[in-house]
Amino acid sequence: MENMSSAPEKRGLWGVATLLGMLLVVFVAVMIVQQGYSFVQAVKGKKPDNTIAVSGLGKVKAVPDTAIVTLGVIAQGKDAKEAQNMAVDKINKITAFVKSLGIAKEDITTTQASINPRYNYESGQSKIVGFDSNQNVTVKVRGVDKSADVVGKLMAGAVDNGANQVYGSQFTIDDPDALQQEARKAAIVKAKEKAEELAKAAGIKLGKVVSVQETANGYIPTPMYYADKAMGIGGGGAEPAMAPNVEPGSQEVTQSVTLVFEVK
């Protein structure tokens, strides 16, 4: 009888012990959270109450070193196969010409290859009368900051080799990181100068910088302009297309920095 009565008692004691263990775990977790919160509040409390925030904008001008040009062909055929073959033949000739200028294949990208039916609408009905094939390649021309002549030769030569779509899309800086770093330094200098002027005018003294915030403004690639827009459509025994005089101009890289100073 004693063994039978002791079993329920043991189970009851085990349940109480388990509950106490769970409560202990919860208590420890709560204490950890409270200590962490107190630490965060203590750290926040160390931030100076009196501060001044000043922004500076750094600007750096540079000549673009890369031009992006898109060359394309639209070919029409009585069926999809004929239109496709005509367009592919021309775009292959254009691509071969681009490579002959010393442009690496890694800088030549196919950006469009499509075939679409061409309709004739009569008496409220549409009828397929042929197909149009559109083939485009985008070419990256490097070193235009030293000489942009190759861009003009590229555009004129592409027309002579069958291109009937030429887009001189934009000039850009291939690797702007170094220029952004230079603009960042200029922004910090301007922010410090402005802070010193404000402090002098207000009769206060600046302490150390307690916060730095950066806004990357970057730069906007510029569209391509030509000095000569009279580029004709060559090929088929016509006079060679005129090479436009391409001017890369300059671009502005900007960087904005906000400094927060402690006020003594």
The residues spanned by each domain of the chain are 1-46, 51-61+177-219+256-263, 64-173+223-248
pLDDT at 190: 96
Q: pLDDT tens, 135-185?
A: 999 999 999 888 888 898 999 999 999 999 998 768 889 888 889 999 999
With residue 260 as reference, give the H or E element that holds it.
strand 251-263
pLDDT at 234: 38
> CA 228, CA 194: separation in Å to the nearest integer?
46
HSE-up of residue 226 (Cα within 13 Å, Cβ side) = 19
CATH of span 64-173+223-248: 3.30.70.2970
> CA 76, CA 95: separation in Å to the nearest integer?
20
Strands (E) in 7-124, as ranges, are 51-62, 66-77, 108-122
Q: pLDDT tens, 37-90?
A: 444 444 444 555 688 899 999 999 999 999 999 999 999 999 999 999 999 999
| Nearest 10 degrees: Cα torsion 234, 136, 140, 168 | 50
Q: pLDDT tens, 189-229?
A: 999 999 999 999 989 899 999 999 987 665 566 665 443 33
| The model's pTM | 0.64
- Architecture, CATH, for domain 51-61+177-219+256-263: 2-Layer Sandwich (3.30)
Of the candidates 58, 50, 51, 52, the residue with the CA atom closest to the CA atom of residue 257? 58
Which contacts of 45-49 are long-range, i.e. CB under 8 A and separated by 24 or more positions?
Answer: 47/210, 48/207, 48/210, 48/262, 48/263
What's the angle, vertex CA 120, arms to CA 130 and CA 81, rounded to 5? 10
Taking residues 17-25, report their average pLDDT: 62
Taking the chain, what is the end-to-end CA distance rounded to the nearest angstrom? 83
Of the candidates 91, 76, 136, the residue with the CA atom closest to the CA atom of residue 112? 136
